[in-house]
Each structure stands twice: as structure tokens, then as C-alpha cells.
Amino acid sequence: MNGQQDGAQRDRFPKAVSTQAEEFSRRLETMGQSRLAAAAQAAVQGLHALITELRPSSDEFRQAIDFLTEVGHYADARRQEWVLLADVMGMSSLIEDQNSPRPHGATPNTVAGPFYRSDVPEMPLGGNISRDRKGELLEVTGRVVALAGEGLGGAVVEVWQANAEGLYENQEPDRQPEFNLRGRFRTDSQGHFRFTTVKPKGYSLPSDGPVGQLMSALGLGLERPAHLHFRVSADGFETLTTHIFDRSDPAIDRDAIFGVKPELMAEFRLLPPNGGKRTYALDLNLVLCPQRRDEQPLGGDDRWHVSAATTT
């Protein structure tokens, strides 16, 4: 090629931040266009821009490599440290927002977390999902509705949560009964549902691995405010997976995985005393969107941990 042709070809590349990034883009172009190639090019451009701005020393670069290596060492069949890293950097939440947009008035989608179970038996409306009866009672009443406000009868409402100590049933199977604090209900003809549970406690993400150590070094917390998980499905509507947060939780403004949205904060109301035992109430509407043609059935979210050290 002559100089004029080379210049024309370079003009087709995004402006590179380094000669190495420019050469990487040139080599990719010879392989043809693909989403993988576009992702690789964007990653190289971003990383080279970061290096150009920060100008790390060789020792600092080695420290970064060592950190990523350690994240890999902590990732196995029971713990996914890479997903934890994506969570605390806000990437998991951003991807959820991009892939599950909701119009104004609809309940926002969130990540499911690692503790969803699809095998929970259906219970009658009004059932108690606290199988060990430990904790302060929480009476939940809700309604599943469409965007226009009409109730959706026959919708399936799945719920799961941590206990009063901030632990899920499948984190400590030897201490909690099977399916503790999990339920599956079907709404009545007007879309209403109700059940009894216990008030959940907030908790912290694991701090024993490299991600926790990074967050500590940055001075950032790992707290998650108290919440209930919901998954709601109805014929002709998008499946909704979301959280409902206790707005009074001290960590409500610093959720470690960026799941809190104004529409998902609710009041866990303290009811008048009843026999000396404190009881709370939660009232909510879950608003679904019509199903998109490209929506696929949702399965469990295989996240980053299922042992006692991890919650999300």
C-alpha cells in the first residue's frame, strides 16, 4: 500500500490512544467484523487509555496482575469471585439495567443473586414462609398489576430472603429448615397475594477474598440493606425479578451492589403491640410489563457463592 492508502485505512479505525492499540485494531480489521472483535477492540482501547492516564510502574502493573490472579484462585464451583468483583464495581447492576429496561411506572428489575431456588413448593395465600418461626413477624400484602393498573390473577409470586441474622437457608442447611423463608404463591383473581414471614436483616458481602480486601483498601463498605427478593411471572408479561428494600436500613444509601432504586424502597411498618411481640407490615404493588417478543424464560441466577460466607 502507498502512504495515501494507509492513511485512508487508518481513518476507518477509532482514534487510538497508543501505537499498540492502533496496531491491534488494524489486525482485528483483517479478521472481519464481529461482536467479539468489537468487544476486544473496546477493551484494548479502554485499558490503553487507563495505562496512558495513570502511567503505572512495572511493580504496580505486577500488583494488578497478582490481584486478578488471586481473584481467579478464589473462583470455583461454590464461589464466583469474578461476579463479586463485577457486583461491587456496579457492572452487574448496569448490565441488568441495560438488558431489562422498564418504562415509567413499572417495577424495576434487579439481579437475582445466588440464592434463588426454583423447586420451592406452592403455598396457599396467607401461608407462613418462616418454617423455624425465628424472628420478628412481618405481614406482607401485595398486588401484581399491569402498567394500566389492572390486577393480574393467577400470577406466580416467588419470594426468598435472609433471616433475622442475615443468612439464607441454603447458606446454613444444617441450621435452617428446608425452604425456610422461601415461598411460591398464586395471586387471586384481582392480583392480590399475602403471606407471613420474619423481618430480614441486612448483611455484608464476604471480605475474606481479594475483592473484599480491595474494597477495604479503597475505604468502601460491603453492606447490603435488608430486603426481600421477588420473582413474578404471568402469561403475556415479562418476568420480573426484583428486590424490595427496608428504607429505614442504615445501609440504604450504600448498597454494595448498587441494587437500590427509589421505586424499590418501602416502609416496614411497626404495627400496634400484639401480645407483647413486635410485628411489622409491608404493603406493595409489583407492576409488570407486557412481554417482548424476544424475551426468553428466566432460569436461576448462577452467581458467586452459596456458602455461609456469602450473601447478595
Each residue's pLDDT tens digit, 145-171: 999 999 999 999 999 999 999 999 999
Average of pLDDT values for 201-211?
Answer: 96
Confidence of residue 296 (pLDDT cuts 50, 70, 90): low
Residue 310 vs residue 251, higher pLDDT: 251
| pLDDT tens, position by position, 65-85 | 999 999 999 999 888 999 999
Say what the pLDDT of residue 77 is.
83
Say what the pLDDT of residue 106 is.
97
Say what the pLDDT of residue 295 is.
52
Which residues share a beta bridge with 231? 158, 241
Report the chain's C-alpha Rg in angstroms: 24
For residue 229, indicate whether it is catalytic.
yes
Cβ 85 vs Cβ 211: under 8 Å? yes
Say what the pLDDT of residue 274 is.
76
Say what the pLDDT of residue 293 is.
72
For residue 73, indicate whether it is catalytic.
no
Q: Is the pLDDT of residue 240 over 90?
A: yes
Confidence of residue 276 (pLDDT cuts 50, 70, 90): confident
User: Look-up: residue for cell 383473581?
Assistant: 189
SS3 state at 157:
strand
Q: Where are the domains of the chain?
A: 3-55, 81-288
Average of pLDDT values for 186-194?
Answer: 98
Q: Is the pLDDT of residue 97 over 70?
A: yes
Looking at 102, 143, 224, 303, which residue is catalytic? 224
Residue 301 vs residue 123, higher pLDDT: 123
Cβ 221 vs Cβ 257: under 8 Å? no
For residue 280, indicate whether it is catalytic.
no
Say what the pLDDT of residue 299 is.
44
Say what the pLDDT of residue 49 is.
96
Q: Is the pLDDT of residue 5 over 80?
A: no
In whole angstroms, how far apart are CA 215 and each of 26, 87, 138? 37, 12, 33
For residue 243, indicate whether it is catalytic.
no
Q: Is the pLDDT of residue 298 over 80?
A: no
Q: Is the pLDDT of residue 13 over 70?
A: no
The tally of CA atoms less than 13 A away on the side-chain side of residue 101 is 4
DSSP string, 84-134: HHHHHTTHHHHHHHHHS---TTSPPP----TT--S-PPB--TT-B--SS--
SS3 state at 182:
strand
Say what the pLDDT of residue 273 is.
83
Say what the pLDDT of residue 275 is.
76
| pLDDT tens, position by position, 42-67 | 999 999 999 999 999 999 999 999 99
Mean pLDDT estimate for the chain: 90
Looking at 229, 243, 303, 305, which residue is catalytic? 229
Among 207, 201, 214, 210, smallest CA distance to 168 is for 201
Residues 283-303 as b or e (16 or more Cβ within 10 Å = b):
ebebbbbeeeeeeeebeebeb
For residue 192, indicate whether it is catalytic.
no
Say what the pLDDT of residue 38 is.
94
Average of pLDDT values for 250-264?
Answer: 97
- As a CATH number, domain 81-288 is 2.60.130.10
Would you mind telling me the total number of residues written for the chain in this entry?
Answer: 312
Q: Are strands 279-288 and 269-270 parallel, antiparallel or unpaired?
A: antiparallel
Say what the pLDDT of residue 306 is.
45
Q: Report d(CA 46, CA 55) in Å as an integer.
A: 14
Distance of CA 43 to the CA centre of its chain: 23
Q: Report d(CA 149, CA 213) in Å as an integer.
A: 46
Lowest-confidence region among 3-7, 88-92, 188-192, 261-265:
3-7
Looking at 168, 243, 280, 305, which residue is catalytic? 168
